[in-house]
Amino acid sequence: MTRLRSSVVMCLAAVLLLAGCAAPDPQLARDEAQAVFGELVARTAAEDAAVVRALQTADPTEQSCGTEDERTQTALTATATLSITTTDADTRRIRDGLADTLEPEEWTAIHSSGPQQVARISDRDVVVALTADGPALVIAVFTPCIAP
């Protein structure tokens, strides 16, 4: 009976691991965040120069995941300044076009902070938030909380 129980526990553990219930690999999550951020910035930079006037990336920032938690989260951000003649519809078109480049098999829509924002989460818990705010478009990519 003990062997059977041990076998069942081992099989269940293997199934859970294979089903993706294990924590994402920290380096893979960092690599994915960097890659998707680079792609979103490149696509934004490729927009019409009459629409996207400037694109500025910030240095990556580390944020604590909690007051008593040693884990940190990395935030990668970029801001595109759009022409003052750009309409809200144009800004949303660019934002939605960027969101559409994220493969639905790998990226799941999540609740955003409002109608001006589109957010997705990957299988590795990387989060992308695209925010259209007046004549600005903010690209933000966050890694999951990762131990140092």
Dump pLDDT digits (tens) for 82-116: 999 988 888 999 999 999 999 999 999 998 888 89
Quick one: pLDDT band at residue 31, thresholds 50, 70, 90?
Answer: very high
CA distance 132 to 119: 12
Q: In this structure, are residues 54 and 98 in contact, taking their beta carbons and an 8 Å threshold?
A: no
Chain-centre distance for alpha carbon 37: 8
The angle, 0 to 180 degrees and rounded to 10, between the axes of the packed helices 26-45 and 88-100 is 140
Instruction: Look at residues 139, 143, 140 and name the one whose alpha carbon lies nearest to residue 52.
Output: 139
pLDDT at 124: 92
